[in-house]
Structure 1
């Protein structure tokens, strides 16, 4: 290994540091350690078959060659995806800034105030444009947002009907995604032209606004649907274009209960379909049924306003199979981009952009009509539907020769979508494709009475950053509030917060990747298709499966895709009665929520006192459900952080009863190069490319959750109605809006595998296991390690048990987590999978110095706990309970029973580089009791 090889850069501990760590844990080599830790029955017997590791320079050159195979065109296809301009100040200081993209989901709100404010801006932007009370902090894309809205309507509707009605003008990918979700949940979907009315009984209706063909109806059409829905006890969802909402009536103003859609055209590149932030907003009374994250306002210990995640008891990590949704990772980074686009332009700027887009579309329509071409719709915002009997294909072909992609509809119709980057010269080229001269004729195309009169984006944040200087400083001020990987270690168990290398990140903003429309002709995305094929084959190799789909755009969606494949397999075999999903009590909350969404019934399997799946209870549950058993979902290594013996026996028990084995890939960072789920009994797994394969967490998304299957499940992988090659014709339907989900971030994982090679990936796993065992060995005498596997070893993470200390002293895991902030660390995972514990995952990327600094902090905190036990401080007035300590606390009146230095500069803290939390401990319960999820001036909360 040379000093310049990428794995040397990625793996934190040097060879000499690894030797010290190995000596501490009592092994002579990495190979000896993993042979002791990993059960011999599942260990691989051959090296991974991957291309040899490439240097960073060579990997970038190869990606350049792939990118060159893509052909970015002027994109006028529409269907919910539009070209846009990402302001350079936002691209450089958010999208390309590790202070934003390496952060984790803001479960520790005191060190997440910057992105929480950005997300509150996002929620405010969405709720005000939609004219509805509360918006969430993003969903995965427009189609899944609408699907979530359908399920929300079903949950709260007073109608006894099982039918949802979709406007025939809904986006085709949205109709398909809703059908995929609805089929498993037993919901009937009716697609109809709403001009013909609504059926007598239905629980919800979805209208596209404007329609997929561009149509805008008269104002009375939209309000009439609201009246009909209310009379039927049904709910009303509007899938709305946010840019259009700057000019046309807000959905909440004509009676919509829910608005859902995409924020992509607010400065987020096309990226061949993603990642883009979906959105949802609801009327008052529905906020507790919202899926996904919700940012709210509360106060800290000093009474200062502060932000945190609100109403978390709705979510999968707490409510499991009773959650409002299985969504975990959402789209925080794209949501921040969209929010900052609105901050940058303000309401006047957004309205100017929308007006210009609309005027260009109206001018195009007028010129087409003047030239004898029929324009189908009288009312539209940005998309013109032209009728040219028998000539549509020829028009599209001529436009393509001129570098423009129009939207082919059928033999007679062409769709032309105008966007922010459209110019008069582009309009002239479009008219040329129709054989028409450019005559400056505009027509009235916003229906009378549909113009927007209400104000939006009135908060000062949308008015204060017009200059780039102001915008730059605002972005910097927010990022300074947060703790991300660019500051220090984030040892979150089950989250794998490893290095997101700059070389891996570099290609995502190249135009050849960023400028491709997801429904562009396949020959314009050849580079993407080669990359997808290569990455899929590499993922199949490292997991031992036969086929991989990259479409799911989050781990939760990969879970759903895998379970739907299992369901379809049983149905194809005439065994539709197989609907029971066994899930260990220690499982991730998404597992249970996903099983319910896949139409399955959850039966919980007990765990033993050692933390393993109780095989006797498993046998009993299998026997009790033998005829109806569909699957078991099991995480390996377990969520308890150990390589369980008997995973192969578990698989045999389930297989012998006709069930399938779903191996959750959340902990794949402990398996790469050592064991393959597809070879030790798994039939299907999802992977988290935002964990094991280096896509950054982005503060809570984006992620990619590919689903990998053995051959017998391959016919049931996701497919897509708008791209035949995206999946098998026998597939379950689309899981995401775009054929390859969040395609534009796939180059990150491609680059990681390409630069690491087989040896590098295996070494990374070995060092991840070494680091976790080193932490466990060093801290075990201070905090008992709750679970270990064979030879007393853990896998890539360890659980520290604080329950005895809490019982003795009253000091809680929350106190330790907040005190770690004073020491300059993000806390480990709290109370998962066992309440009252901390789960630590150091990853392979942290060097020994940082790991030792964390260990020293934990030992020092144990000393503080001991001081409480000895009566030096009361638990409720100790450095632990009062943590974190802010600079404001330091300069205020000091009546605490310890000195200022201990509060803010405990042992080991680098005084020159100290992270100062902006707020003290936040009162979460108060924020839930007094729900505020948009941003009026902060002084409104002071009283």
Structure 2
């Protein structure tokens, strides 16, 4: 056994398992299985041109050596990014804990109560600090959140405004530059006209529907927006405020100023800079917009016994249900980072946050006083953490960089300095020394922080926040550690059992890939430092781009999109820019097969395209003749086809090259959804299939963990003709020669998370990557064969094979009164998270085992499903009191004195022998979604309610 081979650790089945599994699927070799599964005309004829595989130790040395190429300057650049202090208890128990980072989006609420509670804490914190009624469970970054505010306010215009086609959106000139760039991207396809100006002198016309201001402004100046918001409301114009979350501890909340939406980032609540991400953004608004709020909301409901339970609220907004009518993508979240930011607030509490905010403010005042004393002019009248000094930027920059300090230089005569919680007295004196040296003098040492305050009296916060018990209980490390563990025990993650979610690719997130995320040489780099200070990152990101370009068979890659949904949107916007560069502004028709991911039509509409749905055959494949007819019908206006390969039905469609040719022949480009790339790497690729652009889910195929529903990374890879249009950034140059405006806030998106995928490619190498794909296909077909006779597989390829996933049909069980949901809940009693339920076909389950699961785990899963199949046969459709309908069974049920069920406790809790060895207990019974939507509660209850309950 080659113990230094990472492939051996990543791929689940052993050599012995392989022989038995091949026999079960009735093939002589892996080569025969691939031949019977993948169409011959798209198979790669040569291996990928990638570096050879590294061992885990070699990779650890390699990535450590690269980290030394990052210069660890002190950065006071600001612009929405600040060095923060991640408490070690949160780093060790959440960031580095697979119990938290390998969890999936909480679709199965009964086994996700821990992270749901953590997210409810996050929402409560945001609602309290912003002064708004409702907050979601995070978005991707501040710029994305601001763009969502612009589009949500556009969607909720009054009937009269919609009728008059009111489409102007005012943007303060004090907005962060990366946010403005992203607003430009989102506004263009929706025909929203941005008007940039000074809020103090601007007069609204009747053709405006909304406005966005920054609080404090990008210059650091604090403005009182109360009068501006009042005037806007008088003109029926709604106002969004982009607010610094830490400043809101000391500043009057935007809600109290009258804001309709408040957005921002929680990065400075203990999240590493990571050269741009991942970080959790926030979005807060009024309750009247609860049906329009983007992303996901965690709500309070009850289980069937009436006990308090949590779940994702208002789930019907999700794409695969509303499709082209969807308001946003529920997948655009940063759950792991939101959990960490929420825990930061729990650990410090309201008083701790106030201490940190005051320290940051007083540090800023202190350096302002000392620099002013040197003869410089400080330009801000009121500020929280950012000052502007009138000085020759080039001189200051030279001296600062010699002292390993970064400031921001908005123009040649201004230096901007943003302070953070990590700044010590020594750091403050080093900052002042830069300005003293420029004057060729010495400055007095700062020995104590100034007590002066630079916040205007009328904008000082007077209201309480975070009064709930959870923010006032866990301030010692012992208590927080136990609270985190208490929540972790309520969640089923990959460290307990296989999560065979079709389309979601829940594979191993190897510890060797994850370790560099804890290294400050990677974590503490500001995204806007000069590129020569981030050469370690530049090498990793450039190499990863090249690897992904090779893997996809394309010519260029952008890592900027920081989710799969962002990748879809970016790919379509690049296609749009390409057509327009050729004068084809009229090309706006997007063909989408009826079997496509639900995010596809929503992304197409966001990109300003009109969706035309093409039919599927009875076998679940694209109806080629219907596609041909619609492509020819719309040939003058055809922009693109969006296609998933292998299909969402888990089939390698043999007509795929014909499909892409039809689109090209009629003037369109082909966008391939990369959700199923785990069935392509090393065997085929989008280039061979005939696509022009694809997005990749690095949080699926390339091993970034799902983190409970985020982080994700969704880079796009493109053919030669699309390379010039890859997205740019307004501060750090990136993208193509004719780059579209920003897709995400940071130049390379969530750079820190990209280290994981870089490690995945480097440690598997060419051979390992192909074998990972092969074993993903083998594992899926093994499950298919094991379930034969118990469940019907809905779709297969022409030779009867599944791809890397399959759909099993549960609709016949309706005759027994059993729904697919009952199977999902019963699987919890067997210790498994349900596969993907009712997508893409209602009443079915989509299973994807990945390559990381061993034969033993696959067998346990199959045994569970086959056991459930027998239980279904035992059910009387007329009697709902059965083991299926009552699932999941909690520990409280099993230990209660009374047992009112017509089956044994043993059958309920330990249906198979293996369960007893590693039992997972759902913490609540089946959740009542309808009750929660009728009684929407999305924050922790006020402490008074708990007192009332105790007294009752």
In which range does the TM-score fall when normalised by the shorter chain? over 0.9
State the partner residue of 1:94: 94
Which of the numbers 642, 660, 663 marks the counterpart of 1:633?
642
Instruction: Please list the CA deviations of residues 542-598 of structure 1 after superposition, one character each: whole Å capped at 9, or x if unmatched.
Output: 110110000000010011110000001111111111001011111111111110111
Q: Which structure 2 residues correspond to residues 630-779 of structure 1 after superposition, within 5 A?
A: 630-724=639-733, 726-779=734-787
Alpha carbons 2:362, 2:453 under 8 Å: kept: no
Structure 2 CA distance for partners of 1:825 and 1:77, relative to 1, 3 Å: same
What is the CA–CA distance in structure 2 between the aligned matches of 1:422 and 1:769, rounded to whole Å?
Answer: 52
Alpha carbons 1:875, 1:881 under 8 Å: kept: no
State the partner residue of 1:799: 807
Q: Which structure 2 residues correspond to residues 254-403 of structure 1 after superposition, within 5 A?
A: 254-388=257-391, 391-403=392-404
Alpha carbons 2:817, 2:878 under 8 Å: kept: no
Q: Tell me the CA shift for residue 875 of structure 1.
A: 5.0
Q: Tell me the CA shift for residue 401 of structure 1.
A: 1.4
What is the CA–CA distance in structure 2 between the aligned matches of 1:752 and 1:814, rounded to whole Å?
Answer: 35
Instruction: Please list the CA deviations of residues 184-204 of structure 1 after superposition, one character each: whole Å capped at 9, or x if unmatched.
Output: 211111111112123313111
Instruction: Please list the CA deviations of residues 806-855 of structure 1 after superposition, one character each: whole Å capped at 9, or x if unmatched.
Output: 2x111011000000000010001000000000010011100000100000
SS in 2 for 1:363: helix
SS in 1 for 2:40: coil
Q: Is 2:558 the partner of 1:557?
A: no
Alpha carbons 1:84, 1:268 under 8 Å: kept: yes
State the partner residue of 2:439: none
Structure 2 CA distance for partners of 1:27 and 1:420, relative to 1, 3 Å: same
Q: Which structure 2 residues correspond to residues 104-123 of structure 1 after superposition, within 5 A?
A: 104-123=104-123
What is the CA–CA distance in structure 1 between the aligned matches of 2:140 and 2:133, rounded to whole Å?
Answer: 21
Instruction: Please list the CA deviations of residues 201-238 of structure 1 after superposition, one character each: whole Å capped at 9, or x if unmatched.
Output: 31111110001110002x3xx11111121122111000
Q: Is 2:797 the partner of 1:789?
A: yes
What is the CA–CA distance in structure 1 between the aligned matches of 2:6 and 2:913, rounded to whole Å?
Answer: 31
What is the CA–CA distance in structure 2 between the aligned matches of 1:410 and 1:654, rounded to whole Å?
Answer: 48
What is the CA–CA distance in structure 1 between the aligned matches of 2:556 and 2:444, rounded to whole Å?
Answer: 50
Q: Tell me the CA shift for residue 247 of structure 1.
A: 0.3
Which of the numbers 890, 896, 906 marks the counterpart of 2:894?
890
What is the CA–CA distance in structure 2 between the aligned matches of 1:921 and 1:84, rounded to whole Å?
Answer: 40
Alpha carbons 1:252, 1:283 under 8 Å: kept: no
Q: Which structure 2 residues correspond to residues 103-502 of structure 1 after superposition, within 5 A?
A: 103-158=103-158, 159=161, 160=164, 161-201=166-206, 202-217=208-223, 219=224, 222-388=225-391, 391-435=392-436, 437-438=443-444, 443-502=452-511
Q: Is 2:927 the partner of 1:922?
A: yes
Q: Tell me the CA shift for residue 3 of structure 1.
A: 3.9
Q: Tell me the CA shift for residue 625 of structure 1.
A: 1.1
Q: Which structure 2 residues correspond to residues 594-609 of structure 1 after superposition, within 5 A?
A: 594-609=603-618
Q: What are the ranges of 5 or more consecutive residues in structure 2 without an aligned counterpart?
A: 437-441
Q: What are the ranges of 5 or more consecutive residues in structure 1 without an aligned counterpart?
A: none
Alpha carbons 2:517, 2:753 under 8 Å: kept: yes
Q: Tell me the CA shift for residue 442 of structure 1.
A: 6.2
Alpha carbons 2:672, 2:691 under 8 Å: kept: yes
Q: Tell me the CA shift for residue 327 of structure 1.
A: 4.8
Alpha carbons 1:169, 1:212 under 8 Å: kept: yes
What is the CA–CA distance in structure 2 between the aligned matches of 1:467 and 1:318, rounded to whole Å?
Answer: 44
Q: Tell me the CA shift for residue 439 of structure 1.
A: 6.0
Q: Tell me the CA shift for residue 368 of structure 1.
A: 2.0
Structure 2 CA distance for partners of 1:827 and 1:507, relative to 1, 3 Å: same
Q: Tell me the CA shift for residue 329 of structure 1.
A: 4.0
Alpha carbons 2:89, 2:481 under 8 Å: kept: yes
Q: Which moved more, 1:146-155 or 1:362-371?
A: 362-371
Q: Tell me the CA shift for residue 457 of structure 1.
A: 0.3
SS in 2 for 1:409: strand
What is the CA–CA distance in structure 2 between the aligned matches of 1:654 and 1:875, rounded to whole Å?
Answer: 53
When normalised by structure 1's length, the TM-score is 0.98
Q: Which moved more, 1:314-323 or 1:531-540?
A: 314-323
Alpha carbons 2:37, 2:652 under 8 Å: kept: yes
Instruction: Please list the CA deviations of residues 448-491 of structure 1 after superposition, one character each: whole Å capped at 9, or x if unmatched.
Output: 21000010001000000011110000000000110000000000
What is the CA–CA distance in structure 1 between the aligned matches of 2:854 and 2:190, rounded to whole Å?
Answer: 47
Alpha carbons 1:719, 1:729 under 8 Å: kept: no
Alpha carbons 1:246, 1:452 under 8 Å: kept: yes
What is the CA–CA distance in structure 2 between the aligned matches of 1:198 and 1:369, rounded to whole Å?
Answer: 36
Instruction: Please list the CA deviations of residues 597-652 of structure 1 after superposition, one character each: whole Å capped at 9, or x if unmatched.
Output: 11101111111110000111111211221111100000000000011110000001
Alpha carbons 1:824, 1:909 under 8 Å: kept: no
Alpha carbons 1:328, 1:590 under 8 Å: kept: no
SS in 2 for 1:818: helix
What is the CA–CA distance in structure 2 between the aligned matches of 1:717 and 1:553, rounded to whole Å?
Answer: 14
What is the CA–CA distance in structure 2 between the aligned matches of 1:3 and 1:875, rounded to whole Å?
Answer: 55
Which of the numbers 855, 877, 880 marks the counterpart of 1:848?
855
Alpha carbons 1:123, 1:933 under 8 Å: kept: yes
What is the CA–CA distance in structure 2 between the aligned matches of 1:874 and 1:921, rounded to whole Å?
Answer: 20
Alpha carbons 1:296, 1:307 under 8 Å: kept: yes
State the partner residue of 2:33: 33
Q: Tell me the CA shift for residue 324 of structure 1.
A: 1.0
What is the CA–CA distance in structure 2 between the aligned matches of 1:105 and 1:447, rounded to whole Å?
Answer: 43
SS in 1 for 2:927: coil
Structure 2 CA distance for partners of 1:171 and 1:214, relative to 1, 3 Å: same
Which of the numbers 911, 914, 921 marks the counterpart of 1:909?
914
Instruction: Please list the CA deviations of residues 843-895 of structure 1 after superposition, one character each: whole Å capped at 9, or x if unmatched.
Output: 11000001000000101000000011xx4x75521111100000101122211
Q: Tell me the CA shift for residue 312 of structure 1.
A: 1.1
What is the CA–CA distance in structure 1 between the aligned matches of 2:937 and 2:643, rounded to whole Å?
Answer: 38
SS in 2 for 1:280: strand
Q: Tell me the CA shift for residue 317 of structure 1.
A: 2.8
Q: Which moved more, 1:364-373 or 1:848-857?
A: 364-373
Q: Tell me the CA shift for residue 764 of structure 1.
A: 0.7
What is the CA–CA distance in structure 2 between the aligned matches of 1:570 and 1:875, rounded to whole Å?
Answer: 60
